[in-house]
């Protein structure tokens, strides 16, 4: 009997370790699938199109999609808690338009920049408070936020407003050159935002709480975690990221327009989901979101190199990939159960 008792714990421990290893592998499966898809798409491009292997092609994906990456970072926080934010595209447009109007009126860039970031953050904070205190579904609350922000855009101006501010144009034209290649300031900002967000999610108490709330909010509350405060915080972060994405888009376009960033909320959601984050929350990685944005940008690049395909093929391919990854997520979560 004594011998049996001494042998049982190691066996149980080993079994538990194997179980944890299998769960860990399944949790990584969507991200690995995205990485494999990215490598496959890039290989196809290199084989079929001359000059596709140029390093500048990859850097251009970051340059062209810097604002989307920042917006998708904010969306990752929201989806990890099991929520959704439909307002991000409208907040991006509102940010570009407010910045263009104020800069055109002679306001200094040092005042306009923090002001537009504050506006986006306030919108996100407001939606988070409505969702928590009034128990409104995130879909409805952020849909209202989308209508509000887009409506404010049309109240401000229905026309495109050019930006000629020296600081704005200087940042837009600035290129960081290295080894014969270049990258924009906006792309550097986007990568830094992604790195900071990845650190927050992986190594801070707030990040662990985000995962816990998305996994099971009732259990998180019973453990004493600040569920309500965390939900408000992630929508505030999303609002800030949307405003920052709007600033980066205004650098890229040098204009503010009420119709900017139409459909960006869907692009951001698609990038996050294709990157392996579960729509139900509780599982996902910021690295996967970066991969999802790269997949989106690579599709656009391949269509450009092809030359005879409509830009709508980007939407078609993204739709197919989104459906495929949702099915993959369902398969993974079913196996966990």
Average pLDDT, the chain: 90
Give the pLDDT band (50/70/90) at residue 336: low
Band of the pLDDT at 337, cuts 50, 70, 90? low
Q: Is the pLDDT assigned to residue 140 strictly greater than 50?
A: yes
Region of poorest pLDDT, from 23-32, 112-121, 196-205: 23-32
In percent, how much of the chain has pLDDT > 90?
Answer: 79
Q: Which residues contact 41 (CB under 8 A, 6 or more apart)?
A: 295, 298, 299, 302
* pLDDT, average across residues 286-314: 91
Query: How many Cβ atoms are within 10 Å of 294's Cβ, its own excluded?
Result: 25
In which region does residue 260 sit, left (phi positive, over 0), alpha (psi from -120 to 50) or beta (all else)? beta
User: 305: buried, middle or exposed (CB in 10 Å: 19+, 13-18, 0-12)?
Assistant: middle
Distances (CA, A) of 192 to 23, 91, 163: 30, 21, 25
Please name which of 100, 300, 302, 65 lies closest in space to residue 184, comparing C-alpha atoms.
Answer: 65
- pLDDT at residue 157, rounded to an integer: 95
Cα–Cα dist 27/332, whole Å: 7
pLDDT at residue 26 greater than cutoff 90: no
Neighbours of 170 (CB within 10 A): 12
Residue 15 in this model has a pLDDT that exceeds 50: no
Q: Average pLDDT of 140-156?
A: 97
Contact 87, 142 (CB under 8 A): yes
Residue 290 has a pLDDT of 97
Domains and CATH numbers, the chain: 30-336 (1.10.3470)
At 235-245, the pLDDT tens digits run: 999 999 999 99
pLDDT at 19 over 70: no
209 band by pLDDT with thresholds 50, 70 and 90: very high
DSSP 8-state secondary structure symbol assigned to residue 308? S
Q: pLDDT at residue 231 above 80?
A: yes
pLDDT(210) > 90? yes
Over 50: is that where the pLDDT of 310 sits?
Answer: yes
Give the model's confidence band at 1: pLDDT under 50 very low, under 70 low, under 90 confident, else very high. Answer: very low
Q: 224: alpha, beta or left, given left = phi > 0 and alpha = psi -120 to 50? A: left
Sign of CA dihedral 39, 40, 42, 46: positive
Phi-psi group of 261: left, alpha or beta (phi > 0 → left; psi -120 to 50 → alpha; rest → beta)? left
Cβ neighbourhood burial of 260 (10 Å; 0-12, 13-18, 19+): buried
What is the C-alpha separation between 4 and 164, in angstroms, rounded? 80
> Measuring CA to CA, which residue among 232, 312, 242 is closest to residue 89?
242
Distances, alpha carbon 250 to alpha carbons 41, 188, 261, 296, 298, in Å: 30, 15, 11, 20, 22
Position 315 pLDDT exceeds 90: no
pTM of the model: 0.91
* Residue 265: pLDDT band with limits 50, 70, 90: very high
């Amino acid at each position: 009997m004594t011998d049996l008792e001494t042998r049982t714990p190691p066996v149980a421990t080993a079994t538990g370790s194997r179980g944890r290893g299998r769960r860990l592998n399944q949790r990584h499966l969507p991200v690995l699938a995205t990485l494999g898809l990215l490598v496959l798409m890039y290989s196809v491009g290199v084989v079929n199109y001359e000059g596709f292997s140029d390093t500048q092609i990859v850097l251009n994906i970051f340059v062209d999609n810097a604002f989307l990456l920042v917006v998708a970072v904010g969306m990752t926080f929201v989806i990890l808690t099991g929520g959704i934010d439909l307002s991000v595209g409208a907040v991006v447009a509102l940010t570009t338009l407010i910045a263009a109007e104020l800069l055109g009126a002679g306001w200094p860039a040092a005042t306009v920049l923090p002001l537009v970031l504050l506006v986006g953050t306030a919108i996100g904070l407001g939606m988070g408070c409505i969702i928590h205190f009034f128990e409104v579904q995130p879909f409805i609350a952020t849909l209202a936020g989308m209508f509000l922000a887009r409506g404010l855009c049309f109240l401000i101006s229905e026309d495109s407003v050019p930006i000629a501010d020296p600081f704005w144009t200087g940042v837009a034209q600035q290129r960081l050159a290295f080894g014969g290649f270049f990258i924009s300031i906006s792309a550097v900002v986007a990568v830094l935002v992604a790195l900071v967000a990845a650190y927050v999610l992986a190594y801070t108490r707030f990040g662990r709480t985000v995962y816990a709330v998305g996994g099971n909010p009732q259990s998180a509350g019973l453990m004493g975690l600040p569920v309500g405060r965390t939900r408000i915080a992630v929508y505030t972060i999303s609002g800030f990221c949307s405003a920052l994405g709007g600033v980066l888009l205004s650098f890229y376009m040098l204009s503010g327009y009420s119709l900017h960033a139409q459909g960006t909320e869907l692009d951001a959601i698609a990038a996050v989901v294709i990157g392996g984050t579960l729509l139900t929350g509780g599982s996902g990685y910021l690295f996967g979101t970066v991969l999802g944005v790269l997949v989106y940008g690579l599709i656009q690049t391949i269509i450009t190199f092809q030359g005879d395909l409509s830009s709508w093929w980007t939407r078609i391919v993204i739709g197919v990939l989104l459906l495929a990854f949702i099915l993959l997520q369902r398969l993974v979560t079913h196996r966990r159960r």
